Structure 1
Amino acid sequence: MHSPRKADPLLVGVLSLHNSAETKAICNAVTELGHTPVWIRREDFSWSVQDGTIEIKPSVDVLCNRLLLTKSDRPLEEIEVLGLFERTVPTLNGAEAVSRAIHKVRAASVLADAGIPVPDAYFAISGTRLQDRLDTLDGRAVHKAGIGTNGQRMEAVESSDAIPARIQGWQSFLQSFIETDGERPSDIRVYVVDGEAIGAMRRTAAPDEWRSNVARGSSVEDVSDSLESAAYDLAIDATAALGLDYAGVDLIRSADEWYVLEVNATAGFKGFRSATGINPAAAIARAAIERAGGRVDTAALAAVREEFDTSPPDTSYRQRTERDTETPTIGYTADVTVSGTDGRVDAVGKVDTGARRTSIDTKLAGEIGVGPIVGHATVRNGSGIRRRPLVEVSIGTDSSWHTVEANISDRSGMRYPVLLGRDILTDYRIDLTRRAGEE
């Protein structure tokens, strides 16, 4: 049940556990439209129930979902956090809608049931069944993960190819390869917000590439004024069928028929903005404000549509207790305690603001009995790309304990057995002049 709306200005929450230009742009657009953005990150969120009363923090009047679930290690848990907010305040791109959209096969099933044309596809849990279907195909097919983004590990395959049942841990499926007119493969991205198509761009694949993702180097051009109304209607219908409030809808045309390739609940803005000059953040901010009963000044909205402000927004909400009124300081190296199921050890850790995750040495992990493995992280270093196991571990500093998913690596050739990443350092100020053991 949604709580009553507060007086203007509204508190517009943006649930985003990552640092992105899109999140910043939405927050800044909310500010320019005369309301107050609240960027909700991991360290900000809490939920409680006491004597039957539910409290969720931070308290907001409306929520915009910007969770990058396709890149998350634990998308189900993040969807549940989204669902907790959805029970208390109006939410754009809520839990049920994104759960339908995140998996490409489920999304295709919903769209097909709604009479929206999608490419033929085949999905099976058994790798043998998937391979058998490929063996019978005449021509090419697209082999892709059920959950994924930016065209990662997506391949055009033929009947003679061997394909895995899983891609980066996700079940894979086959989709018919749609041939397009033109010298290079291309598709159309339509951005839909609150039941309105705000613009469209054509994405043309780079040389020696058939995938048209902007992240793959495709070129983009504005087709907002030239795209036929049937394509716009299809994008709007696809977004509505999945129950989304905003989405980037990818369309492809072959033999005079349009197909919906994918519907992206957290599509990026930068390529679309550079092609069309349209700022989706303005439309999303407006939709959120109006959903909560707030007012948007027409002149201010027109100005925000022309901008794409990705500077750090003035929305630094952080939960603080009485003992945590000041941000603690950590040095370049720090004394830490690492705790596992079989014990704990004291060690020295080095800070690394360039590392997303904390890392601990393999030998140290064995001593304290960390585990079980909860996933894997892909790490780039001087020797190439490596996959490292992730384990949940507790690490204590002189100010507090932190439970994180740390990666395990051989640090025997390094001076420090623990590397402290941003998953811990976000709670600290860093003083590079301080060293463990020094006054």
Structure 2
Amino acid sequence: MTTETPGDGGATIGITVQPDHPVFGVVCDRLTARGHDVRFFDSNAPIPADDLRDLSLFVVKHTRPESIRALLAAERLGVPTWNSATGVQACATRFSQLCSLSGVGFTVPSASREKPAGDYVSKRLYHWESAPEVNGEGDCYEELLDAEPVDYKYYVVDDGETHHPVVLRATSKLWGEKQVLGETTPHSEHVERIVSLMDALGMRGLGVDLVRVDDDWYAVDLNPCPGFAETGLEDALVASIESALDR
């Protein structure tokens, strides 16, 4: 089932998000004000092919099995997508995330299907499953890095002309509830690697989590459909979605 917002002769944009999402709700309001029809889809429900055919652009906000199936179906139907099905699929599993990050030059923690001898971080196989846990049970076991308990959360949006990076410092979920500590200056080499990955995978928006171990940086998580909370990237997202209509 969809919820439609009347537009004024613009494009028809479908997005798998709730209308009251703190970031994408604002983005969709602005798109509507610019004359587009916005249709909201449930990220956990199948989307009929006829609904996808009606779209000028399909945007997946939540990485979920039904959303990925819909993204694949949209591409088969020739419906333009904001982030590519290939890119989202490549970021869906923990092992493929680490391979993708390593492939553009990031240092990543060692990972295995088997528990290592020392302390480790356990993760489920797919991005949307339970949160990482120290010395827990999972499908992917990464070495526990001797890092400060802070994640450097990089968000990059491509608006068709330039890339907009924002970095938030946040307490690590490994040691309790995440709390955003504030914004910090992006490192240019990290942004360049993320942009390279976006270009390779056909992505307009991406999130990468880095941690610092002494003077070294490790990429530990990759989010193909981030929420961009507290980034202030709403204008960039509007421009990015509109630029994807022109491809």
TM-score tier (shorter):
0.7 to 0.9
CA distance in 2, matches of 1:58, 1:173: 37
**Structure 1, unaligned runs of 5 or more:** 1-6, 48-54, 70-74, 124-129, 158-162, 295-439
Seen in structure 2, the aligned counterparts of structure 1 residues 145 and 45 have a Cα distance that, compared at 3 Å, is closer
Residues 135-193 of structure 1 show CA distances to partners (whole Å, capped at 9, x for unaligned) of 3x4xx2211112245962x2223xxxxx54xx4xxxx1111222235xxx101111111
Q: Which one of 37, 55, 80 corresponds to residue 90 of structure 1?
A: 80
- Aligned-partner Cα distance in 2 for 1:287–1:45: 23
- How far the C-alpha of 1:99 sits from its partner, in A, is 0.9
The amino acid of 1:65's aligned partner reads V
Residues 65 and 94 in structure 1, CA contact (< 8 A), matched pair in contact too: no
Contact 1:110 1:242 in 2 (8 A): no
| Residue-by-residue CA offset, 1:6-41 (whole Å, 9 max, x unaligned) | x96222221348974444233113123443322234
Q: Conserved in 2, the CA contact under 8 Å of 1:239 and 1:249? A: no
Residue of structure 1 aligned with 2:111, choices 121, 137, 141: 121
Alpha-carbon deviations, 1:295-333, whole Å to 9, x = none? xxxxxxxxxxxxxxxxxxxxxxxxxxxxxxxxxxxxxxx
Work out the CA distance in 2 between the residues paired with 1:233 and 1:259. Answer: 15
1:286 matched to 2:220: no
Asked whether the 8 Å contact 1:186–1:204 carries over to 2, the reply is: yes
Aligned residue among 152, 174, 179 for 1:188: 152
Task: Name the SS for the 1:116 alignment partner.
Answer: coil
2:48 maps to what in 1? Answer: 46
Distance 1:62 1:201, change over 3 A: same
Give the Cα–Cα distance (whole angstroms) in 1 for the partners of residues 171 and 84 of structure 2. 31
Task: Give CA-to-partner distance per residue, 1:347-378, whole Å, 9 cap, x none.
Answer: xxxxxxxxxxxxxxxxxxxxxxxxxxxxxxxx
Kept in 1, the 8 Å contact 2:55–2:79? The answer is yes
Matches within 5 A, 1:9-408: 9-16=10-17, 20-41=21-42, 45-47=47-49, 55-57=50-52, 59-69=54-64, 75=65, 77-87=66-76, 88-123=78-113, 130-131=114-115, 134-135=116-117, 137=118, 140-149=119-128, 152=131, 154-157=132-135, 164=137, 167=138, 172-181=139-148, 185-194=149-158, 196-205=163-172, 210=175, 216-223=177-184, 226-270=185-229, 273=230, 276=231, 278=232, 280-293=233-246
Give the distance between the partners of 1:150 and 1:187, measured in 2 at CA: 19
Aligned partners of 1:12 and 1:289 also within 8 Å: no
More deviation, 257-266/99-108: 257-266
What is the letter of the counterpart of residue 106 of structure 2? I
Highest relative contact order (Cα 8 Å, sep 6+), 1 or 2? 2
Per residue, is there more strand in 1 or in 2?
A: 1
Which residue of structure 2 aligns with residue 382 of structure 1? none
Q: Distance in 2 between matches of 1:30 and 1:84?
A: 24
Where in structure 2 are there 5+ consecutive unaligned residues? 1-7
| Partner residue in 2 for 1:407 | none
Work out whether residues 118 and 260 of structure 1, in 8 Å CA contact, stay in contact via their aligned partners in 2: yes
> What CA deviation, in whole Å up to 9, does each residue of 1:62-119 have, x standing for no partner?
12112341xxxxx1x4422211212322101222211110111112123323433212
C-alpha separation in 2, matches of 1:204 and 1:16: 26
The 1:244–1:290 alpha-carbon spacing in structure 2 relative to 1, beyond 3 Å, is closer
Note closer, same or farther for the CA distance 1:28–1:281 as it changes in structure 2 (3 Å cut). Answer: same
- What is the CA RMSD across the aligned residues, in angstroms? 3.1
Whether contact under 8 Å (2:13, 2:39) holds in the other structure is yes
Between the aligned partners of 1:121 and 1:177, the Cα distance in structure 2 is 10
Please give the TM-score of this superposition, normalised by the length of structure 1.
0.47
SS of residue paired to 2:175: coil
Q: Do the aligned partners of 2:207 and 2:225 also contact (CA within 8 Å) in 1?
A: yes
How far apart in 1 are the matches of 2:35 and 2:59? 17
Runs of 4+ in structure 1 displaced over 6 angstroms?
Answer: none
Q: How far has the Cα of 1:261 moved from its partner?
A: 1.2
Matched residues, number? 235
Give the drift of 1:58.
5.9
Do the aligned residues in 2 keep the contact of 1:197 with 1:236 (CA within 8 Å)?
no
Contact 1:119-1:259 within 8 A present in 2 as well: yes
Structure of higher CA gyration radius: 1
**Letter of the structure 1 residue corresponding to residue 194 of structure 2:** A
Deviation per CA, 1:267-303: give whole Å up to 9, x if none: 2233xx1xx5x1x343222112122129xxxxxxxxx
| Aligned amino acid, residue 183 of structure 2 | D
Q: State the distance in 2 between where 1:63 and 1:247 align.
A: 16
